[in-house]
Amino acid sequence: MKIHEYQAKKFFSDYKIPVERYKLCVNAAEAATAWSEIGTEKVVVKAQVLTGGRGKAGGVKLAKNEAETQAHAKTILGMDIKGFTVEKVIVSEAVHIESEYYVSFVIDRNTKSVLLMMSPDGGMDIEAVAKDTPDRIYKYSIDPLIGLPDYLARKYAFRLFTEIGQVNQMAAILQNLYRLFIEKDASLTEINPLVRTAEGYLMAIDAKMTFDDNALFRHPDVVALFEPTPEEKIETQAKEKGFSYVHLDGEIGCMVNGAGLAMATMDMIKLYGGHPANFLDIGGSSNPQKVIDAMKLLLNDKQVKVVLINIFGGITRCDDVARGLITAFEEINTTIPVVVRLTGTNEKEGRELLKDTLLISADTMSEATRMAVKVTGSTLKQ
């Protein structure tokens, strides 16, 4: 689960990580008021969206007076940044940046530990640093039994700073950020940039946190901050209906019984040059209501050009499934082509039943997949 910068900064403040002053605003008038409340001449208006790269997208703007603050808020609010609409901004005190650094803690699956990453080249181009000069990103695995005691925090702080006052500030930031990471079951705590101001203070002017979904049950304070994206809302509704559903970017809606077969279906779509619109495991049973619910879910996605139903009849018999599909499609009104592959117990009877319907029946999984890919207009591979 992700949270906004302003929410992460609240956690930072609670953990004594220095952040600049800021106010949350939902309209331009509030931004103007925030400007006078903050009281510094220069402020920064920043989009609050659950994605990075806001600076490059024009979602971070410096303002020198009230009118500019208001104007920037007006431009940024409603802006689309990587598919997210900006509904909130913060107006924050502008700081005199001398240099920008990068600091984060993440889970490193290779070493099965928390990894500290730091760089003297923080800022908006950290991805380029990681690609072009990876040796400028320092990485340290944290031993879970040792954690980050003073001597280690200082050792790491010395990699970025030499002046003792700043080393001490950095060591405290590292320890506090690590404590925040552990205590809140985060999967990422990131400061980019951590800045050294002209006055020699270190400060987090950006804050990013993501949390381990499996640990959310013990963090009601974090759950309270949950703002589902439209896709996440749909995924939650699907879960309530007993489906396992993940939205993807392609055009082939998939309805499959069994998670393994659903994965194999997506692989096969890719193999033939197509793009799955989703992962959907509808589970067992031939209940028509299930098919109706699943179809509604798939057809809700306007990107879907064809639906591929891939059913393996083990305990569920294919003729039952076919009857279920027929009943379901009497209710569903759609012009979108539907390809069905039925295999397993009573498959012949099942296919026979589908013959006189609008459902396109295929004998094998590859045949069904190729048909679906063709319909989307993608070039068929293999």
Residues noted as catalytic: 102, 190
Contacting residue, 192, 310, 369, 378, with Mn ion by CB under 5 A: 192
Evaluate whether 208 touches 232 at the Cβ level (below 8 Å).
Answer: no
Nearer to ligand GDP, 47 or 325 (CB): 47
Q: Tokens representing 106?
A: 């993440």
Give the count of beta carbons closer than 10 Å to the beta carbon of residue 163.
10
Instruction: Name the minimum Å distance from CB 7 to ligand GDP.
Output: 14
Q: Is 97 in the site for ligand GDP (CB under 6 A)?
A: yes
Identify the H or E element spanning 295.
Answer: helix 288-299
Contacting residue, 8, 28, 31, 60, with ligand GDP by CB under 6 A: 60
Identify the H or E element spanning 63.
Answer: strand 60-63
Chain-centre distance of CA 85, in angstroms? 15
Which neighbouring-strand residues pair with 22? 92
Contacting residue, 21, 27, 33, 55, with ligand GDP by CB under 6 A: 55
Among the listed ranges 25-33, 137-145, 192-200, 276-284, the one in contact with Mn ion (CB under 5 A) is: 192-200
Which residues contact residue 298 at a Cβ distance below 8 angstroms, ignoring those fewer than 6 apart? 253, 254, 255, 277, 278, 280, 304, 307
Q: Is 52 in the site for ligand GDP (CB under 6 A)?
A: yes
β 43-47/89-93 pair status: antiparallel
Contacting residue, 13, 37, 53, 330, with ligand GDP by CB under 6 A: 53
Nearer to ligand GDP, 93 or 347 (CB): 93
Among the listed ranges 33-41, 45-53, 215-223, 279-287, the one in contact with ligand GDP (CB under 6 A) is: 45-53
Q: Which residue is nearest to ligand GDP (CB)?
A: 55
Q: For 138, list phi and psi in degrees, rounded to 5.
A: -95, 135
Chain residues 202-261 in contact with Mn ion, contact rule CB under 5 A: 206
Nearer to ligand GDP, 193 or 288 (CB): 193
Is 99 in a helix, a strand, or coil? strand
Nearer to ligand GDP, 100 or 251 (CB): 100
Chain residues 101-160 in contact with ligand GDP, contact rule CB under 6 A: 123-124
Instruction: Name the minimum Å distance from CB 47 to ligand GDP.
Output: 8
Measure the CA–CA gap between 89 and 305, rounded to whole angstroms: 37
Give the count of beta carbons closer than 10 Å to the beta carbon of residue 310.
24
Measure the CA–CA gap between 70 and 27, rounded to whole angstroms: 9
Measure the CA–CA gap between 26 and 74, rounded to whole angstroms: 10
Instruction: Name the minimum Å distance from CB 287 to ligand GDP.
Output: 46
Q: Is 94 in the site for ligand GDP (CB under 6 A)?
A: yes
Amino acid at position 312, single letter? F
Chain residues 198-217 in contact with ligand GDP, contact rule CB under 6 A: 205-206
Q: Tokens representing 264?
A: 């194999």
Binds 271: which of ligand GDP, Mn ion, none (CB < 5-8 Å by kind): none
Nearer to Mn ion, 30 or 206 (CB): 206
Measure the CA–CA gap between 234 and 297, rounded to whole angstroms: 8
Given the rule CB under 6 A, which residues bind ligand GDP?
A: 44, 46, 52-55, 60, 94-95, 97, 100, 123-124, 192-193, 205-206
Given the rule CB under 5 A, which residues bind Mn ion?
A: 192, 206
